[in-house]
């Protein structure tokens, strides 16, 4: 075990390194890797087994996220850096989308697929035989969807981006030889950016009437403007965990991450075509203004088991409950009292994720890893939006871990995710009706390096 005096010298260096990487994580926190906009894959080790058993196994400093109580099983100070590179793929088949007047929508059906990294960093250190501390820097939630500017659902959404970062100081205490508890504070930053087109031509037909609008150059789908909203904010939650390990072969873990409500504020800007300028005169809607929103992040309850079958094989199991039912809707209000609020009901429901996996020790230095998970979507069919066309997902993962002496470990993982076809038929007052089906899948590569002091 690392001596307390050595730990005292190492902690400032470890935590300085953690802080220095905050910027790179903020710039990269985009995609979701679980149901809804939850990201529950925080390392290549966890990715390689589809997160199976991560609540129980406590194999490295990544336990800061999955079960802080597991830090009591780590004899030495550790620093783990990981990055996932996600290659999403999606298509949309139009099924008869229309504008607010009922006219068939023209435009593309292209979903812009992008490649982006998802980094994380964890540090842990023993203070004594019983007391351990840790710090995590990771992306707990996130999503991004982009469409062509002229896509058929542009009046509902053109792009949406939710970026988060969490700073997670944790502490763990060994109550007895077989039982430990842990917990931490979740300090979260969230940034939401959203854009949609505005059909000023159709609005003119509705508000003024079809007679004068063509003469003003305002035709349905022919005089598009745009709304871009940018809001952000900080919020705080907490996590609690426990680990029972009656033997080196059996670990049972429990972890609870609290719900967090994010009030956010920022700005809204309107791009209004020249022909529609009279609609945005002083004292009227469509003026650049302040914007406010609130988004609920769900609580997550996880129960895991890690069981050594023999000297080479370890089996892993995890069941996670994500309490999405607190996500009732997404609202956007404006400082300009003349600008109507935007309220999108979501009415999501709680979900269960089940994961099973295993680790096979080939040699003292090499492990083969694999896992399979099934993750329910929280989104009822009637409330599915193009902001997040989520659906049930199956994920299969494989990986290889390689240890270099007693001080360095590395892991490489590959994951494939297949989503069920996601039908959509949603009508909004200003966005018309978007009808069609999304087909999605993802490929991801995970990289991880750990240093033990």
Closest Cα partner for 364 from 310, 404, 398?
Answer: 404
Say how many CA atoms lie within 13 Å of 420 toward its Cβ: 13
Residues 6+ apart with CB under 8 A from 120: 25, 42, 43, 62, 65, 81, 82, 83, 136, 137, 138, 139
Q: How many domains does the chain have?
A: 1
User: Which H or E run includes 190?
Assistant: strand 179-199
pLDDT in tens, the chain (453 residues): 555 444 445 444 444 444 444 433 433 444 555 678 999 999 999 999 999 999 999 999 999 999 999 999 999 999 999 999 999 999 999 999 999 999 999 999 999 887 878 899 999 999 999 999 999 999 999 988 999 999 999 999 999 999 999 999 999 999 999 999 999 999 999 999 999 999 999 998 998 888 889 988 999 999 999 999 999 999 999 999 999 999 999 999 999 999 999 999 999 999 999 988 877 775 688 999 999 999 999 999 999 999 999 999 999 999 999 999 998 888 899 999 999 998 888 899 999 999 999 999 999 999 999 999 999 999 999 999 999 999 999 999 999 999 998 899 999 999 999 999 999 999 998 899 999 999 999 999 999 999 999
- pTM of structure: 0.90
The CATH number of the domain holding residue 297 is 2.40.160.60
Q: How many CB atoms lie within 10 A of CB 341?
A: 9
What are phi and psi for residue 289, nearest 5 degrees?
-160, 175
Q: Which tokens in the block code for residue 336?
A: 């300009």
Q: Could you give the CA distance from residue 436 to residue 381 in angstroms, rounded to a whole number?
A: 12
Residue 209: the pLDDT is 87
DSSP state of 214: G
pLDDT of residue 25: 41
Tokens 């997902």 appear where? 393
C-alpha to C-alpha distance for 344 and 327, rounded to whole angstroms: 11
CB atoms within 10 A of CB 278: 9
Pairing of strands 432-452, 351-361: unpaired
Distances (CA, A) of 94 to 97, 184, 236, 433, 435: 7, 46, 41, 11, 6
Whole domain around residue 42: which residue ranges? 4-452
The 10 Å CB-count burial string (b at 16+, else e) for 118-157 is bbbbbbbbbbeeeebbbbbbbbbbbbbbbbeeebbbbbbb
Burial of 35 (0-12, 13-18, 19+ CB in 10 A): buried
In this structure, what token pair is assigned to residue 439?
Answer: 């087909």
């Amino acid at each position: 075990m690392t001596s307390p005096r050595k730990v005292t010298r190492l902690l400032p260096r470890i935590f300085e390194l953690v802080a220095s990487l905050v910027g790179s994580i903020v710039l990269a926190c985009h995609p979701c890797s679980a149901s809804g906009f939850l990201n529950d894959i925080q390392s290549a080790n966890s990715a390689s087994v589809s997160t199976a058993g991560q609540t129980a196994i406590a194999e490295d400093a990544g336990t800061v996220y999955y079960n802080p109580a597991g830090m009591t099983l780590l004899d030495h100070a550790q620093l783990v850096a990981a990055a996932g590179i996600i290659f999403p793929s999606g298509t949309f088949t139009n099924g008869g989308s229309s504008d607010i007047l009922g006219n068939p929508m023209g435009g593309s059906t292209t979903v812009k697929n992008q490649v982006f990294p998802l980094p994380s960093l964890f540090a842990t250190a023993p203070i004594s035989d019983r007391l351990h501390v840790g710090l995590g820097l990771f992306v707990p939630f996130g999503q991004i969807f982009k469409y062509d500017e002229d896509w058929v659902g542009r009046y509902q959404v053109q792009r949406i981006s939710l970026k988060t970062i969490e700073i997670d100081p944790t502490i763990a205490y060994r109550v007895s030889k077989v039982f430990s508890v842990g917990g931490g504070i979740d300090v979260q930053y969230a940034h939401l950016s959203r854009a949609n087109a505005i059909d000023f031509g159709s609005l003119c037909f509705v508000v003024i009437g079809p007679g004068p609008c063509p003469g003003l150059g305002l035709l349905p789908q022919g005089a598009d403007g745009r709304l871009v909203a940018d809001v952000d904010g900080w919020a705080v939650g907490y996590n609690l965990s426990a680990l029972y390990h009656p033997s080196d072969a059996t670990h049972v873990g429990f972890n609870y991450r609290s719900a967090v409500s994010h009030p956010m504020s920022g700005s809204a800007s309107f791009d209004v075509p020249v022909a529609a300028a009279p609609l945005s005169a002083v004292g009227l809607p469509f003026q650049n203004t302040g914007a406010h929103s609130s988004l609920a992040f769900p609580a997550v309850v996880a129960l895991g088991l890690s069981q050594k079958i023999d000297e080479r094989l370890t089996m892993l199991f995890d069941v996670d409950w994500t309490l999405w039912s607190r996500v009732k809707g997404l609202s956007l209000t404006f400082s300009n009292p003349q600008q109507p609020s935007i309220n999108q009901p979501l009415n999501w429901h709680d979900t269960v994720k089940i994961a099973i996996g295993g680790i096979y020790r080939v040699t003292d230095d090499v492990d083969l890893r694999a896992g399979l998970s099934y993750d329910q979507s929280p989104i009822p069919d009637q409330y599915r939006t193009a902001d997040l066309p989520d659906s049930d997902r199956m994920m299969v993962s494989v990986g290889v871990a390689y240890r270099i002496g007693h001080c360095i470990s590395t892991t490489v993982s590959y994951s494939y995710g297949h989503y069920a076809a996601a039908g959509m038929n949603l009508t909004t007052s200003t966005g018309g009706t978007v009808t069609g089906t999304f087909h999605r899948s993802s490929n991801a590569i995970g990289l991880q390096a750990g240093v033990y002091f």
